[in-house]
A = this chain, B = another copy of it.
Amino acid sequence: MAVRVAVAGASGYAGGEALRLLLAHPEAEIGALTGNSNAGQTLGALQPHLLPLADRVLEETTPEVLAGHDVVFLALPHGQSAAVAEQLGPDVLVIDMGADFRLKDAADWETFYGSPHAGTWPYGLPELPGARAALEGSKRIAVPGCYPTAVTLALFPAYAAGLAADEAVIVAASGTSGAGKAPKPHLLGSEVMGSMTPYGVGGGHRHTPEMIQNLSAVAGKRVAVSFTPTLAPMPRGILATCSAKAAEGVTAESLRAAYEKAYVDEPFVHLLPEGRWPATASVYGSNAVQVQVAYDEAVGRVIAISAIDNLTKGTAGGAVQSMNIALGLDETTGLSTIGVAP
């Protein structure tokens, strides 16, 4: 089966990561690559790590260029995906790595993004209950945000099992690639090396409603989320430290059992043995997720921690995983669980 794939937005970090993974995918054939402001440049100049594509030239993001592919990955600024998707026809599998189609609640979208809601597509987090069924055969996929991926996978087993109360407090550290490739002073190497700093504090980060949506769905009740993202001096990786009041009667054993049940058959989620904790280096460049959970008896809280690579499982790897499901391929095709470490 040869799947012809185009990537719109191939000059940025999400688009580049999609290409890195698709190059290793045995069924994918890389077709058109687009990037408006960089159209005409070679990929060798823009993504020098993608050696096999060094001579490929970026084209404009137009319907003509994107026509004739089985799958189109969109790595566009938010608000631009709907217009492109409409022109692609219902038989093309469109995978949006942006935010446009993640939220179900139009009011949430408008509050956090300040523009009209474009709609909701099947949500590409296969590990969530019911998600795989919605993805199978689908022609539209909304890839989750990187933080919601890490946070949801850290916490949902506790909520699904009724072991956590309805407020989660989350502090996550992200590598700088999560902030994209557009050059801004605070993202300069000189600024980020040696520094940790928070942003979007106090509930303002756009990924917050997506976390609430995911956790509330599995909990069967509204879960409130206090989310503080921080920028860490590393190129890749998210470490999400999450906690919630434990429900009545929770024990370390019942907690662990819930996580074992949730992840026993998951190919990408590794519930670590007791006593070991996730590290972003261990999942560098891979689609793996490391998860660990503890019960802090002194305060009666569930502490759940996950590590992912924000560009792989958090963006393009999650996208490829969902593409595999949608196309009826083995879910792990072309995806690795082996990190590049040290």
Contacts and interface: CB of A to CB of B under 8 A. Distances in A.
Q: Count chain B CB atoms within 10 A of each CB in A173, A270, A286, A288 and give the residue with the most.
A: A173
A269 to B, nearest CB: 10
Nearest to A48: B282
Interface in A252-287: 270, 273, 276-286
B190 A342 contact: yes
Contacts of A236: 194, 342
Nearest to A196: B239
Contacts of A34: none
Interface residues of A, number: 89
Given A20-B340, A49-B282, A198-B239, 10 more contacts: A48-B276, A50-B338, A169-B169, A176-B189, A176-B190, A187-B190, A201-B303, A203-B299, A224-B298, A285-B340
Interface string A306-342: 0100000000000000000000000000001111111
Contacts of A339: 48-51
A251 interface: no
Stoichiometry, as copies per complex, reads: 4
A155 to B, nearest CB: 14
Interface in A153-185: 167, 169, 171, 173, 175-177, 179, 181, 183-185
B187 A173 contact: no
9 contacts: A44-B273, A49-B286, A183-B188, A193-B234, A193-B235, A194-B284, A196-B234, A203-B296, A228-B241
A166 B99 CA distance: 37
A183 B184 contact: yes
A65 interface: no
B191 A297 contact: no
Interface of A: 13, 16, 20, 23-24, 44-45, 47-52, 54, 167, 169, 171, 173, 175-177, 179, 181, 183-185, 187-199, 201-203, 224-226, 228, 230, 232-237, 239, 241, 243, 270, 273, 276-286, 288, 290, 292, 294-299, 301, 303, 305, 307, 336-342
A185 B181 CA distance: 7
A192 B173 CA distance: 14
Contacts of A51: 270, 282, 286, 288, 337-339
Contacts of A20: 338, 340
A297 to B, nearest CB: 7
Given A49-B284, A181-B188, A298 B241 contact: no
A328 to B, nearest CB: 23
Contact of A201 (B52, B197, B290, B305): B305
Contact of A48 (B167, B235, B279): B279
A307 to B, nearest CB: 7
A128 to B, nearest CB: 21
